[in-house]
Amino acid sequence: MTSCSRAADFTASCITASFRKSKMPLCAGKRHRINDMKAEEIRMSTYRVELIRTVDDSYNIEIGFGLTGQLIADLQSGLAGGIKKFAVVTDSNVKPLYADKIYDRLVEAGYSADIISFEAGEKSKTRQTKEFIEDTMLAKGYRRDCCIIAVGGGVVTDVAGFAAGTYGRGIPFINYATTLLAAADASIGGKTAVDTPLATNLIGLFNQPRKVYIDIAAWKTLPPREIYSGMAETIKHACLADGDFFDYLEKNTERILDIDPEACEYIAKRNCEIKYRVVMKDERESGLREVLNLGHTVGRAIETVSGYRLLHGEAVAIGLVAQARLAKKRGYMSEDEAERVKNLIARAKLPTEIPDYIDRKELVQKLYTDKKVKDGCIRFVLEKGIGDVVCFGDNVYSTPVSEDEAAEIIGEM
Ligand SMILES: NC(=O)c1ccc[n+]([C@@H]2O[C@H](COP(=O)([O-])OP(=O)(O)OC[C@H]3O[C@@H](n4cnc5c(N)ncnc54)[C@H](O)[C@@H]3O)[C@@H](O)[C@H]2O)c1
Ligand SMILES: [Zn+2]
């Protein structure tokens, strides 16, 4: 039985106790052992653990150009409370470009800091990398009075945010996002995770950062393919929530790909607004948040089956075309609308077809590892025209799709 002595830890008392299969003597003077008892004779006591909590996880997203100075100023103004010890988690590409500078500025400002860097790429988004971060922090004497600053793209913010959620049962973390994809999606919403050989992002936590910095100046050093990849999540946001934003992307694709500051700032803000609107209403993905999964049923599966030869955004781009085809087939999109989605994706220099090297059968089977799968059924989020998604019922935004229908769409691509 759990003692009541920890009740003070909770908002209100108290504690669970169950006597199932204990060796308590029975009442009425009988001396049966508990194993001799019939099920209905087992005595139980149930105490309710009341944990009604009001948590304010609000945070600011700073969008700008070169935000290291702002980060240090925020820390000095108490962003991380009284914490003086920071683990700067980053990857091998971002370390020399941005994380080293953040580390230097932390040390200059009198903080204790370390850089923990792992090899760049989706292949590092694993339990092993999380373990490496944790073991390094343990070895360097990090206890609970510390904070992780994740500097990098979605891989870094996902794995570092997950590590922060479990290190010392939870320490604060800050996201300093350096890719368009992280700006558009990964750094906002509090989802953190690692991949496993069987599926991406299934092991993780909802864990909100203290603050997010979106450094648009950092996009200048991104390889072009990473910019295109980030555009996929931006196009996804336009497809699911905002037809005018979709028009803007159609008219300004080249400016964005050239990292025009004004256009990039606009898309960074619009991405945040759209994602925020969805996440705010459904922090724990009970319904509405499913809409952010547009294009991800096929996208995630292709990403895994390609052995990560395709970047996340490239895979999502193909997934967006797949859902548009399905939406057209089911009458939710016109031929023209589905074509516009495909054309914008192509203009953003993203793939619109499944590469030849992908085994179609394996891809269809992989769809069953999607987190939306319910009662063994593959499910898709579908676009309704441009800038909206189909609502299939009360707070239900995905619909079952038979294996044959999914295979047919995949076969056509
Ligand atoms: N948590 C979420 O809600 C969420 C949402 C969308 C995507 N994701 C995840 O995000 C990941 C993809 O994000 P990503 O595309 O940012 O991947 P990434 O972190 O792997 O970054 C892409 C590449 O760019 C490099 N890089 C990063 N910033 C750079 C810069 N400024 N200049 C030069 N190189 C730079 C990285 O080293 C890496 O090689 C996936 O793992 C995906 O699952 C998470
Ligand atoms: Zn995504």
DSSP structure string for 233-280: HHHHHHHHH-HHHHHHHHHHHHHHHTT-HHHHHHHHHHHHHHHHHHHH
Query: Which numeric CATH code is attached to 60-221?
Result: 3.40.50.1970
CA of 114 to the centre of ligand 1 (A): 21
Which residue ranges does the chain devote to CATH 1.20.1090.10? 280-412
Asked whether 328 and 408 are in contact (CB, 8 A), the reply is: no
Average pLDDT of the chain?
Answer: 88
Q: What is the pLDDT of residue 35?
A: 57
Contacts of residue 103, defined as CB under 8 A and 6 or more positions apart, other chains included, come to 88, 113, 114, 115
How many C-beta atoms surround the C-beta of residue 35 within 10 A? 7
Residues constituting the chain: 413
pLDDT given at position 24: 42
Q: What is the pLDDT of residue 282?
A: 63
Token pair belonging to 174: 């800050």
Closest-approaching ligand to the CA atom of 200: 1
Check residue 11 and give its pLDDT.
35
Q: Which residue is listed with tokens 């793939």?
A: 351
Which residue, by CA, sits nearest to atom 3 of ligand 1? 186
Atom of ligand 1 nearest to the CA of 125: 41
Quick check: 382 and 300 in contact, CB under 8 A? no
Question: Each residue of 299-357: pLDDT tens digit?
Answer: 999 998 998 899 999 999 999 999 999 999 999 999 999 999 999 999 999 999 999 99
pTM value?
0.84
pLDDT at 26 (0 to 100)? 40
Give residue for tokens 């898309």. 267
**Ligand 1 center from residue 345 Cα (angstroms):** 19
Specify the pLDDT at position 36.
Answer: 57
Give me the CATH topology for the region 280-412: Dehydroquinate synthase-like, alpha domain (1.20.1090)
Find the ligand nearest to 236 CA.
2
Q: What are 37-94's pLDDT values in tens digits?
A: 555 667 788 888 888 877 788 899 999 999 999 999 999 999 999 999 999 999 999 9
What pLDDT, on a 0 to 100 scale, did the predictor assign at position 286? 67
Average pLDDT estimate for 239-244: 95
User: Among all ligands shown, which has an atom nearest to the Cα of 91?
Assistant: 1
**5 pLDDT tier (thresholds 50, 70, 90):** very low
Tokens of 342: 């495909």
Q: pLDDT tens digits for 381-413?
A: 999 999 999 999 988 999 999 999 999 999 999
Other beta carbons within 10 angstroms of residue 222's beta carbon come to 20
Q: pLDDT class for 370, splitting at 50, 70, 90?
A: confident
The pLDDT score that the predictor gives to residue 189 is: 82
Alpha-carbon distance 410 to 413, whole Å?
A: 5
Which class for 254: exposed (0-12), middle (13-18), buried (19 or more C-beta within 10 A)? exposed
Q: Which of 181-195, 237-251, 292-306 has the lowest mean pLDDT?
A: 181-195
Q: What is the DSSP letter of 96?
A: I
Report, as an integer, the average pLDDT of 150-161: 97
> Residue 196 C-alpha to ligand 1 middle, in angstroms?
17
pLDDT greater at residue 30 or residue 326: 326
Which of 237, 312, 320, 371 gets mutated to test ligand 1 (max ligand atoms within 8 A of its CB)?
312
Q: 248 near 266, Cβ under 8 Å?
A: yes
**Tokens linked to 358:** 């992908």
Q: Which helix (H) or strand (E) holds 399?
A: strand 399-401
Ligand 1 pocket by Cβ (under 6 Å): 91, 93-94, 97, 120-122, 125, 152-156, 158, 178-179, 181-182, 185-186, 189, 191, 200-201, 218, 221-222, 226, 229, 312
Which regions of the chain carry the CATH code 3.40.50.1970?
60-221
Task: Give the mutation target among 117, 226, 314 for probing the ligand 1 site: most ligand atoms within 8 A of CB.
Answer: 226
Structure confidence by residue, pLDDT tens digits, 89-118 = 999 999 999 999 999 999 999 999 999 999
